[in-house]
Amino acid sequence: MDDQILQTAADMYGTPSYVFDLDEFHQRIRHMKEILGHEIKICYAMKANPFLAATSAQAADGLEVCSPGEYAICRRAGVPGKKIVLSGVNKEPQQILEVMGEGGAAAFTAESLYQLQILEACAAQESGQRTAQKSAVPVLLRLTSGNQFGMDEETVRAIIRDRGSYPHLDFIGLQYYSGTQKKQMSKLKKELEYLDGVLAGIREELVYELRELEYGPGLSIPYFEGQEIQDEDLMLREFRDFLDQMEFTGTITLEAGRFLAAPCGSYITQVVDLKRSQGQNYCIVDGGIHHVNYYGQAMAMKIPLHRFMPRQASGRREEERWTVCGSLCTSGDMLVKNLPLPDPAMGDLLVFDRIGAYSVTEGIYLFLSRRLPRILTYTEADGLCLVRRDLPTDPLNDGSIHIDQL
């Protein structure tokens, strides 16, 4: 998004605001598919930014949905069940039954033996409610990467051997995701080799053909100055080579959040105070760390990719170093330490880029009872659209909001 769009957003709607570029998001998905090949499916992990869910339903092959709230967002956006992978470590029977009753999902993931039993019970109950013979419910067995998610290989194998106990389920494949912001391509190669081996073992030793692999590569995005700007095309091509080297011939779906969403968002703040104290320059902006979340706790240690947009072109004095802080009452609310700025003035804009993933939901939004930032979307066709105004949080923080107001 160019400076003019961001300046207009600030002028028309105020700050602090997020602006999400839906065209760019769409384009990133399309481009990823072009490089990886259209036989590779892309599933958008909507937890990265739920405001991109509706766009992803047009651009991607599916959405990974991890909670009843995320599912509700999909329903309102008109996302069809066949585009939804219902995921999440704690799927409750009520939610599963609701999804099954409303047209199902492309797949349900199973995170544990107990979760699998819940799925089977729900599928049995749901099939009993229909007269026509329903086909089995598609299930992806989640293989763990060594944490609370998924099941170990032994458990997955035991489940497949025991598949007769799950007559209402169809074990279509494996799901695997080992974390985000992976910078080493060699790690992805290793993971794919490992998964290829597991799939081959199941095929040969258990004589059972898993047809799908749903894999979250956790592709990385550089956030800070000085970090190498990666050649994304080169990275994707290298990744495609890894995929090509696999023995597995079934369908591969890539789950991606950060890589697709991060570059599509900017966060606009405004300078509201300037002072010099004990030899240090402080620039206070109207946003803060509660709205910004880069990966890892690197705030204030590094300089995030940003743009300084003065209201008026000044005589451009020499740059001085300013420590940029937000509007929270904690000394931790430091956005950038010693940022070189040319003569900042009240009302100037400081825009933080690459904020399209995770920042919009992962912040400590309720702290200090400040208002939520505005959310705007941008497309070339429709320009800027306000999708959420600056809602107050104080009624949440004293309980004065009533359930019937929601």
What are the backbone angles phi and psi of residue 324, rounded to the nearest 5°?
-95, 120
166 is a site residue for ligand PLP (CB under 6 A): no
Nearest to 154 by CA among 172, 141, 136, 168: 141
Q: Which is nearer to ligand PLP, 45 or 300 (CB)?
A: 45
Amino acid type, 332: G
25 is a site residue for ligand PLP (CB under 6 A): no
Nearest approach, Cβ of residue 166 and ligand PLP (Å) = 22
Q: Which is nearer to ligand PLP, 6 or 355 (CB)?
A: 355
Applying the rule CB under 6 A, the residues between 69 and 108 that interact with ligand PLP are: 87
Nearest to 51 by CA among 316, 395, 373: 373
Can you tell me the distance from the alpha carbon of 18 to that of 257, in angstroms, rounded to the nearest whole number? Answer: 17
Nearest to 379 by CA among 127, 16, 24, 2: 24
Rg of the Cα trace of the chain?
24
Q: Is the bond preceding residue 68 a cis peptide, omega within 30 degrees? A: no
Task: Choose which of 20, 259, 322, 378 interacts with ligand PLP (CB under 6 A).
Answer: 259
Nearest approach, Cβ of residue 102 and ligand PLP (Å) = 22
Q: Which is nearer to ligand PLP, 137 or 254 (CB)?
A: 254
3-class SS at 204? helix
Clarify whether 283 is annotated catalytic: no
45 is a site residue for ligand PLP (CB under 6 A): yes
Can you tell me the distance from the alpha carbon of 365 to that of 127, in angstroms, rounded to the nearest whole number? Answer: 42
258 is a site residue for ligand PLP (CB under 6 A): yes
As beta bridge partners, residue 306 has 352
By the 8 A CB rule, do 87 and 43 touch?
Answer: no
Interacting stretch for ligand PLP, rule CB under 6 A, among 21-29, 195-203, 227-235, 256-264? Answer: 256-264
Task: Choose which of 50, 173, 218, 304 interacts with ligand PLP (CB under 6 A).
Answer: 218
Query: Which listed residue (43, 74, 329, 385) is catalytic?
Result: 329
Nearest approach, Cβ of residue 358 and ligand PLP (Å) = 7
Per DSSP bridges, beta strands 251-256 and 212-216 are parallel
Q: Which residue carries 């995921």 as its tokens?
A: 87
Q: Which is nearer to ligand PLP, 7 or 181 (CB)?
A: 181
257 is a site residue for ligand PLP (CB under 6 A): yes
Nearest approach, Cβ of residue 75 and ligand PLP (Å) = 21
Task: Choose which of 47, 83, 291, 370 interacts with ligand PLP (CB under 6 A).
Answer: 47
Task: Choose which of 216, 263, 356, 373 interacts with ligand PLP (CB under 6 A).
Answer: 216
Nearest approach, Cβ of residue 357 and ligand PLP (Å) = 6
Can you tell me the distance from the alpha carbon of 64 to that of 83, in angstroms, rounded to the nearest whole number? Answer: 9
Interacting stretch for ligand PLP, rule CB under 6 A, among 156-164, 255-263, 317-325, 382-390? Answer: 255-263
> How many beta carbons lie within 10 A of that of residue 242, not counting itself?
18
| CB-neighbour burial class of residue 310 (10 A; exposed 0-12, middle 13-18, buried 19+) | middle
Q: How far is CA 295 from CA 19, 116, 180, 226, 254, in A?
A: 19, 32, 9, 16, 20
Helices 232-244 and 22-36: crossing angle in degrees, nearest 10, is 40
Task: Choose which of 13, 20, 177, 294 interacts with ligand PLP (CB under 6 A).
Answer: 177
Q: Which is nearer to ligand PLP, 149 or 166 (CB)?
A: 149
Give the residues lining the site for ligand PLP (CB under 6 A): 45, 47-48, 64, 87, 177, 180, 216, 218, 255-259
The catalytic site residues sit at 329
